[in-house]
């Protein structure tokens, strides 16, 4: 009887041990499976981010190439046609015209000169030559002067002259972001005061745009950047992603502010 009890107890112990081993093995398999699944998901997410960045980079590069193509077409072809039209207009002897036609002739010259200047301005804004020749800060200063000249907007800049990049492509993206934001300010903000400033701290560049007008909230920006009519905002977001930076929109009683944070590798660091 005792032997039977001992055997039964032994079987129970063996059974419990077997169940424990099986349970532990099963748990180990589940944990390893979850770990592999997690690693696979991370790899897939990383691959998706890399693919997204490659697509964005290709889109941005294509956009920049198209800007240059349009700028060159405006300068070389449209500019040449307008200059030729101006020469023909100047060839007309205004003194043989009657008073009414003389006024029309003078008005035509004024309008043509205005168009020539605007085409040159558009061509320069689309091109990034000034950026390559003089750097980001001077390009921003030049753009601010050009677009606010003759407007009701009192614009000023306070840019950190210690900044000098080692990556011209990053500068182009920063410049295009600033261009878009300034254009939006002129179109929609109803502002009279405008300031753009920058501070370089180590390998981080912080730009701030401040004005006393209206602007988007962060929530509106997050929503509109995915919509068709928000193409300019989408371009801003794409460039921010490429720069691995961030952008924040805040408003209040003291004014409206846009903060752009970009990690950079500066010659001064």
Average pLDDT taken over every residue of the chain: 80
* Tokens encoding 79: 């500019």
Whether residue 140 contacts residue 196, with contact meaning beta carbons closer than 8 Å, is answered with yes
The pLDDT of residue 108 is: 81
Segment holding 255, helix H or strand E: strand 255-263
Q: What is the pLDDT of residue 178?
A: 93
The C-alpha atoms of residue 174 and residue 245 are separated, in whole angstroms, by 10
Res 269: pLDDT: 46
Q: Give percent of the chain above pLDDT 70.
A: 85
- Whole-number pLDDT of residue 3: 62
Angle at 163 between CA 160 and CA 168, to 5 degrees: 135
> What pLDDT, on the 0 to 100 scale, is given for residue 49?
65
pLDDT tens, 110-122?
A: 888 888 777 777 7
Average pLDDT, stretch 88-104? 75
Determine the average pLDDT of the residues in 28-48. 74
Task: Give the domain ranges of the chain.
Answer: 136-269
pLDDT of residue 231: 66
* Range of weakest confidence among 126-130, 139-143, 154-158: 126-130
Check pLDDT > 70 for residue 2: no
Question: What are the CA-CA distances from residue 69 to residues 121, 177, 200, 238, 257 (Å)?
Answer: 15, 20, 33, 21, 34
Residue-wise pLDDT tens digits, 194-233: 999 999 998 899 999 999 988 888 888 888 877 766 668 8
**pLDDT > 90? residue 148:** no
Look up the CATH architecture of domain 136-269.
2-Layer Sandwich (3.30)
Mean pLDDT of the region 14-20: 78
Side by side, the strands of the sheet bearing 154-158 are 154-158, 193-201, 204-211, 255-263, 246-252
Among 10-14, 180-184, 187-191, 233-237, the least confident range: 10-14
Cα separation, 187 vs 133, in Å, equals 29
Helical residues (DSSP H) of 74-229, grouped into ranges: 79-90, 99-126, 129-134, 136-148, 168-184, 218-224
pLDDT recorded at residue 262: 94
Q: Which residues, in sequence order, are CB contacts of 192 under 8 Å at separation 6+?
A: 152, 153, 154, 212, 213
166: Cα separation from own chain's centroid: 18
| Runs of H (alpha helix) within 129-167 | 129-134, 136-148
Least confident among 29-33, 51-55, 87-91: 51-55
């Amino acid at each position: 009887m005792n032997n039977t009890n001992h055997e039964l107890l032994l079987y129970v112990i063996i059974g419990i041990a077997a169940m424990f081993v099986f349970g532990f093995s099963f748990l180990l398999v589940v944990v390893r499976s979850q770990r592999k699944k997690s690693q696979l998901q991370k790899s897939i997410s990383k691959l998706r981010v890399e693919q997204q960045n490659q697509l964005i980079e290709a889109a941005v590069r294509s956009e920049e190439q198209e800007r240059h193509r349009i700028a060159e077409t405006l300068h070389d072809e449209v500019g040449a046609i307008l200059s030729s039209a101006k020469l023909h207009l100047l060839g007309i002897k205004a003194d043989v015209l009657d008073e009414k036609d003389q006024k029309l002739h003078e008005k035509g010259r004024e309008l043509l000169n205005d168009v020539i200047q605007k085409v040159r301005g558009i061509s320069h804004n689309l091109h990034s030559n000034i950026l390559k020749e003089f750097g980001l800060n001077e390009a921003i200063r030049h753009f601010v002067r050009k677009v606010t000249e003759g407007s009701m907007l009192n614009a000023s800049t306070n840019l950190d002259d210690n900044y000098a990049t080692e990556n011209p492509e990053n500068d182009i993206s920063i410049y295009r972001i600033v261009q878009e934001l300034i254009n939006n300010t002129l179109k929609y903000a109803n502002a009279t005061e405008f300031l753009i400033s920058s501070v370089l701290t180590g390998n981080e560049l912080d730009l701030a745009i401040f004005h006393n007008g209206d602007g988007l909230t962060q929530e509106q920006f997050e929503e509109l950047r995915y919509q068709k009519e928000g193409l300019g905002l989408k371009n801003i977001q794409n460039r921010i992603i490429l720069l691995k930076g961030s952008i924040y929109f805040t408003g209040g009683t003291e004014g409206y502010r846009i903060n752009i944070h970009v990690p950079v590798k500066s010659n001064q660091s």
